[in-house]
Structure 1
Amino acid sequence: MASQPVTASPLRVLEEELGMDVTAAKDTAEVSAEGAYYLEQVSITETSEDDYEYEEIPDDNFSIPEGEEDLSKAMQMVQERTADTQILEQKTVLPSKQAVPEVIEDFLCNFLIKMGMTRTLDCFQSEWYELVQKEVARLGALGNVPDVYTQNMLLESENKSLKTDLKHYKQAADKAREDLLKTQKERDYHRMHHKRIVQEKNKLISDLKGLKLHYASYEPTIRVLHEKHNTLLKQKMLTSLERDKAVGQISVLQATLRHMEIGHSYHAPHVKVSSKCERGNASEGPTQRSLREAKEQSKYKAKMKENIKDSEFPSDMQPDQNLYLCNENISPAKFDYKLNDIFRIHELPVSCIAVHPHKEVLITCGEDHLWKIVELSKGNVLFTGFGHTDWLSDCCLDNSGSKMATSSGDSTIKLWDLFKGNCILTFEGHNHAVWSCTWHSCGDFVASSSLDTTSKIWDINSERCRCTFYGHTDSVNTIEFFPYSNILLTGSADKTLSIWDARTGKCEQSLYGHMHSINDATFNPKGHIIASCDACGVTKLWDFRKLLPIVSIDVGPSPGNEVNFNSSGQVLAQASGSGVIHLLDLKSGQIYKLMGQESEVNTVVFSHNGESLFSGGSDGTVRTWS
């Protein structure tokens, strides 16, 4: 086995540490019976202290203080120093390759043989094998011989991993720095924005306080003016009644005088014309005669057309004259409606449903340009009406149930004879689609509202537009006559309700309160309450006598498409865009929901006795609830 060079032999080290004369001990060594060497006598020679020079090693970091407290502190310092030393040893000493005790033994033996130290070799071998035989278990705990190359490799790999981690940490730090700068900029921006909002808020608060003070100073004046306004309205209503009576008397006198004048004026001209004709017949040819007859016929038609009078608005009926309102056969309010039948009537959404006043039929209008008469019992379509060139928006029946008016997206209003099923009259005058139409109680007038921001009243007898109402700034979505009166109610997309006098065309009052476009508005049967709904699902009730809001109900955010009262006026139904029909009990204020419509509910109407409810949806179906 090749020997490995070492720096010093173990005996030399022992000799230097103990300072004894090993050569003198060699003479006294003897061999035991078992062949092992041992020392019988060892002499240690002490030299003079003058032969050695000791160098002081200053230790400024360690000192033993005096006293009991100082002694405890010193012990604590020693323990801390020992713990630090152990930590350093754990960090610096790295594991080497697997320990092989035989390698150390061979190294020492080869070294002693090479140096010719046979007696030292024999002594080492005797002690070594004795330890091997007696303390075999402790040989594995002697520790490992550190390998410098292995340590360098481990340190190099550790260094590389640390450099990689450092690179990642630098990248993360750069990214965090960028994010921090960005966040700081956003913080500064939002801080400035917040300061600006706070300033604007404070300014608005101060302005609001000033306006409140300013408004408070006008409240007494407004209260007095409001009382005067109510008084003037009452006086105006009384004056209008007296005026209507006077106008009726004057119209009777004028008609009598006109008949007398017409009777006197037709005799003399007739004689003159006949005499002229008799004198000129002899000299006229056939061509001249035909021209003369055509001229006379056209003059006669123009004169007859001039003789057609405009219909006169009737005077407002008294409550005891309104037979419908005094009907005692009205059933009590009902809320437990259940889905009974589903009829598929139109191919496109149903826009309007009207109940015939005397027959068990429904009239439905759809966006497929058609209106249909439907039997209630089986849902059979009895008649289909054609004529409009665009979608139908609304329909209404007169009190007799023999005529119907329809409004359409083709900007026209058509009148229909329900017994014959044909169109008897078409009104043209609106510039855009017509949203709604309503029939006057007397049956001589039809009112319409349009997308062109105007409303019109059409005279059925003279076949012309009697009046155009201007005032709304956006589309007029709904229109309705006050029952048995000349008062009109309109609702517009400009979020206002307006009350008009149909005879003068003037706006008497505007109601403000809705925050969104008004889709529908109606009177209750008694006429003292107005109900309106808007595009955000808010339904409002108004006192028509005081012209003040009563209550506001929000069932949104789906739009409210239509509202209708039952015959008793105690229940209000709202058709919602969410497919739900809301029923409002005006006495208790409770809201009931009818679920079952699979699509948007566009229209809802009660039967005359209040036992049934009919709804039309955007899927083209009509559903009956009872």
Structure 2
Amino acid sequence: MMDSHRRSAASQVPYEGSITNATHYLEAVNIDDYADDDEDDDAHLFDEIAPEDEFIDVSDSDEDETLEKAMRTLNETIFLGNSVDAQVIEKNPKESLTKRPEVVDDFIRNYLSTKRLFKSLDAFQNEWYELQQRGQLTLQDRGLVPDVYLKNQELADSLSKLSIDVDNYKEIASKARATYDKLRKERDFHRMHHKRVVQEKQRLLGDMKRLKKHYEAYEPTLKQLRLRYETAMKEKMLIKLERDRLAGRISAMEANGNGPTNVPAKSEKPGKRATSAGGNEPKSIARKPTNPIVSVNAVAAAAGSTASSHPPALPKKTKLYEAMLPAEDRINPYSTNVDLPSAKVDRMKQLHTVKAHSMAVSAIKFHPKKMILATVSDDKVWKMWTFPSGELIMSGEGHKDWIADCDFHPKGAHLATASGDGTCKIWDFGKGLATLTLADHTQAVWSCAFHDQGDFVATCSMDHTAKLWDVNTGKCRQTFRGHADSVNHIGFIPFTNTLYTCSGDKTLSLWDARTGLCAQTLYGHMNAINHVQFTLRGDMVASCDSDGIVKFWDIRNVSELESLDVGPHSANRLAFDPAGSVLAVASNDGTTKMYNVQDRERLRDVSTNDDAVQGIAFDRSGEFLVTGGSDCTFRVFQ
């Protein structure tokens, strides 16, 4: 009865054996006092238990000692996890106050206490003490409880950090991928450039070997010519000596009294004169044979003989005159108070498609005076068509390789074509054949352009040079050197003597046609420049490159005005409408992109060809747009 009462009394006291409580208190109850003073509740006095070091001396009965041992055993189990000596705890009371994680039973007690489940707590403590006294609880049953919330929080924090790291790594990976792609493109470009340089080196070595062999083949001829020259000089000296001796003898005969009658007249022949002299010596001289290498006329000319007063007449040659470049201060007729038509690109639609060639159409050009269109192709043929009906008028063959470009003479009677066989031919429509072939370039000719006066034509080539030709004489008047790569396009600034060229070395240059000197060089493109175009007024210039970048330039300040990106495909050709207000860009993706020149805004994209667009041009009225492409056709848009 007393044990159960004490157990219940102990159970009603909140358990203070957790790690948060520094000391433990037990309430001493005297049963006799309850019996004697039941009526007076205020008479009960509760004395504070002695400190922990005096706890051993309190001993009322055997039952108190048993409860004390049980409590000490429980404390040792809770704080130390196993049975230890009570004296060690008394000697080192601070060691039991170290903070430790909660064990299973403490966790359950705290949970039941916080939820105010005291009956469940009593039942749990009774059963737990019984099992503990019986020794049925193992060390694993009395183990520690993990802090689940803390672990969850730590896991959530680590998860958020890992998410941030993943995002950072993704961004770094994307930047690395972009850098890799850029480096790969640059590597491919430099590799291609290196291959081209190696090929050019091999070609130059081959040319040097061929020239060396060619010069070696000339050595015997030079020796033979030197021997002939020496022999001719000896013959000349002998003839001169013979002439002097004959002149001396004639003067001696005149001095002997024969008189001037013995001197033959101009109409007499040398044989008659020798016979009338009556002497043997002149006859022997007249019968003396001449050297077979030198002709009689040559001997007479060398000796200055008076046998013939008139030399043989030479065939007359037509005199070719060299053309002169006009004055530089000419006025552009389109720059002063002239209203030029503007193209209406927003309403343009395709009229028809003409199957022009058997291979890609490389360039197109309008006739300067008539509605005629010229096309050139990789099939080595040029053709002229009626426009806009597209009926074939004329075609020409003669080049040994593809034709890259063409240009009409300002008067419209001739056509110049530039070919991959290293030549530029000028075709006469009246005669129906090529009247002039310009063949000083050592590699393929990319482009050609007539001067506005028609006396000169300019060409550019893969051999890194450009040339200015006199159409009248067929001679090269100037060679423009300065580019470090293939010169892709050439032209004249309208109504000036200034040439412009663009090259694979990413530069655009302006040249003085009279001196052959480079006036300006514009830098800014990051890849090979394919084409350059000026407006008719000459106040605006644009260029395009293989990256699809179009740049507008200020020639006076030698600076870039603006850059447009029409990539990623290559931009092959440019064309301004007559007013210079619309710029059409022929792209390698089969489309033509239209831009407003003033605002630099894209107006529209037109799918013009099934393959890459290689040529593009507006007509003089600005009403039509013609494109030619690698699909072997040219298409007319209105």
Question: TM-score category by the smaller chain?
Answer: 0.5 to 0.7
Aligned with 2:537 (options 517, 526, 529): 526
TM-score, structure 2 length as denominator?
Answer: 0.53
1:76: which partner in 2?
A: 128
Matches within 5 A, 1:307-386: 308-319=320-331, 322-326=332-336, 328=338, 330-336=340-346, 337-386=348-397
Q: Distance in 1 between matches of 2:497 and 2:271?
A: 59
TM-score by length of 1: 0.54
Partner secondary structure for residue 468 of structure 1: strand
Name the CA shift for 1:388/1:288 in 2 (closer, same or farther; >3 Å).
same
1:622 aligns with 2:634: yes
Shift of 1:76: 3.4
Residues in 1 aligned to 2:495 and 2:524: alpha-carbon distance in whole angstroms: 27
Look up the equivalent residue of 1:75 and give its one-letter code: E
The Cα of 1:363 is off from its aligned counterpart by 0.4
Question: Is this contact kept in 2: 1:64–1:70, CA < 8 A?
Answer: no
Question: Any idea what SS the aligned residue of 1:568 has?
Answer: coil
Structure 2 partner of 1:181: none
Return closer, same or farther for 1:291/1:397 CA change in 2, 3 Å cut-off.
Answer: farther
CA shift, 1:490, in A, is 0.5
List aligned pairs for 1:463-478, cutoff 5 A: 463-478=474-489
Question: Cα gap change, 1:583/1:463 in structure 2, threshold over 3 Å: closer, same or farther?
Answer: same
Aligned to 1:461: 472
In the alignment, residue 374 of structure 1 is paired with which amino acid? W
Q: Is the 8 A contact 2:350 2:635 kept in 1?
A: yes
Residue by residue over 1:587-624, the C-alpha shift from the partner in whole angstroms, topping out at 9 and shown as x without a partner, is 23221211242111001000001000000010100000
Q: Residue 537 of structure 1 contacts residue 560 of structure 1 at CA under 8 Å; is this kept in 2?
A: yes
Residue 602, structure 1, aligned to residue 586, structure 2: no
Distance 1:501 1:65, change over 3 A: closer
Describe the shift of the 1:377–1:511 C-alpha distance in structure 2 as closer, same or farther (beyond 3 A). Answer: closer
* AA matched with 1:518: I
Question: How far apart, CA to CA, are the structure 2 residues paired with 1:402 and 1:288?
Answer: 48
Within 1, Cα distance between the matches of 2:407 and 2:322? 22
Tell me: CA distance 1:429–1:583, structure 2 relative to 1, closer, same or farther (3 Å).
Answer: same
Quick check: 1:581 aligned with 2:633?
no
| Contact 2:498-2:511 within 8 A present in 1 as well | yes
Residues 312, 79 of structure 1: CA spacing in aligned structure 2 closer, same or farther, 3 A cutoff? Answer: farther
Which of residues 432, 437, 454 is equivalent to 1:443?
Answer: 454
Amino acid paired to 2:344: K
Among 538, 551, 572, the alignment partner of 1:561 is: 572
What secondary structure is seen at the aligned counterpart in 2 of 1:514? coil
Name 1:544's counterpart in structure 2.
555
CA distance in 2, matches of 1:280, 1:324: 73
Quick one: distance in 1 between partners of 2:579 and 2:270? 72
Deviation at 1:318, TM superposition (A): 2.9
Deviation of 1:378 (Å)? 2.5
Q: Which amino acid aligns with 1:411?
A: G
Are the aligned partners of 2:608 and 2:635 in contact in 1 as well (CA < 8 Å)?
no
Q: How many residues are treated as equivalent by the alignment?
A: 376
Deviation at 1:539, TM superposition (A): 0.4
* 2:334/2:537 contact within 8 Å kept: no
Shift of 1:75: 2.0
Partner of 1:229: none
SS in 2 for 1:75: helix
**What corresponds to 1:433 in structure 2?**
444
| Contact 1:64/1:71 (8 A) holds in 2 | no
Query: In structure 2, what is the equivalent of residue 16 of structure 1?
Result: none
Mapping 1:44-59, distance limit 5 Å: none
CA drift of 1:289 comes to: 8.9
Cα gap change, 1:361 to 1:505, in 2 (>3 Å): same
Instruction: After TM superposition, give the deviation of residue 405 of structure 1 in Å.
Output: 0.7
- Secondary structure, aligned partner of 1:520: strand
Q: Note if 1:406 corresponds to 2:417.
A: yes
CA distance in 2, matches of 1:402, 1:327: 29
The SS at the match of 2:127 is: helix
User: Helix, strand or coil for the counterpart of 1:76?
Assistant: helix
User: Structure 2 regions of 5+ residues with no counterpart?
Assistant: 1-68, 76-117, 142-168, 180-264, 273-285, 300-309
Instruction: Give the secondary-structure state (helix, strand or coil) at the position aligned to 2:401.
Output: coil
2:399·2:421 contact (CA, 8 Å) conserved in 1?
yes
- 2:624 equivalent in structure 1: 612
State whether residues 64 and 74 of structure 1, in contact with CA within 8 Å, keep that contact through their aligned partners in structure 2. no
- Matches of 1:77 and 1:278 in 2, distance apart? 168
Say whether the 8 Å CA contact 1:65–1:71 is kept in structure 2: no
Shift of 1:371: 0.1
Distance in 2 separating the partners of 1:343 and 1:296? 64
Q: What's the Cα RMSD here?
A: 3.9
- Does the aligned pair in 2 maintain the 1:357–1:400 contact within 8 Å? yes
Label 1:64 to 1:605 Cα distance change in 2 as closer, same or farther (>3 A).
Answer: same
Q: Which residue pairs with 1:393 in the alignment?
A: 404
Q: Is the 8 A contact 1:316 1:485 kept in 2?
A: yes
Flag the 1:61–1:318 CA change in 2: closer, same or farther, 3 A: farther
Percent identity between the two aligned chains = 37
Q: Which residue of 2 aligns with 1:152?
A: none
Check whether the contact 2:470–2:477 (CA below 8 A) recurs between aligned residues: yes
